[in-house]
Amino acid sequence: MTDLSTGRDAPAAIPTLDTLDRQIVNTLQRGLPLTPRPYADAAAALDISEATLIARLRALLARGVLTRFGPMFQIERAGGQFVLCACHAPSDRLDAVIAAINAFPEVAHHYARTHHLNLWFVLAVSHADDVPAVLARVAASAAVEILPFPKEREFFVNLYLPV
């Protein structure tokens, strides 16, 4: 989120995680086992019960430590599309623009930045043909012009953020 008094990205609050939460986050960033019972097998590797793992994941999501937990798909193989989008949200309307954009289920996540294009988000649609109509609805709701940047090439970066 942008600090409106300075125009700079405000430091995010650092969540308090206990040792088990850290182990869960660090371990599952590398993926779940591809087995009939992935949560049970992941829990066994962490020396906890499946119920404990699921409860901890739900708590991390509820606290906002995790914003999403699930598989990553190549949506284009299923006929969908991801689109990186940017807009200029005036500082006096930033929170309202974010709320309007985030109200759409097709918006995966957003980032506030210190640039004229100060709000970026990822749009995910099930059918690539839906992109123009969904973007038009988002733009109208947020009352901003949205610039789409469709994916031209995919890069696998193997992002890992130890906590």
pLDDT 10s digits, 70-111: 877 788 888 999 999 999 999 999 999 999 999 999 998 888
Select from 153, 155, 135, 154 the least CA-distant residue to 144: 135
Read off the pLDDT of residues 30-58 as tens digits, 9 standing for 90 and up. 888 999 999 999 999 999 999 999 999 99
Domain boundaries, the chain: 19-62, 75-150
Select from 112, 142, 143, 138 the least CA-distant residue to 125: 138
122 has which bridge partners? 84, 109
Architecture of the domain defined by 75-150: 2-Layer Sandwich (3.30)
Average pLDDT of the segment spanning 64-75: 79
Sequence letter at residue 160: Y
pTM over 0.85: no
- DSSP states of the chain: -EETTTTEEPPPPPPP--HHHHHHHHHHTT----SSSHHHHHHHHHTS-HHHHHHHHHHHHHTTS-S--S----GGGGT-EEEEEEE---GGGHHHHHHHHHTSTTEEEEEE-SSSS-EEEEEEESSGGGHHHHHHHHHHHHTS-EEEEE-SS----------
Statement: residue 144 has pLDDT above 90: yes
Listed range (55-59, 147-151, 153-157) with the worst mean pLDDT: 153-157
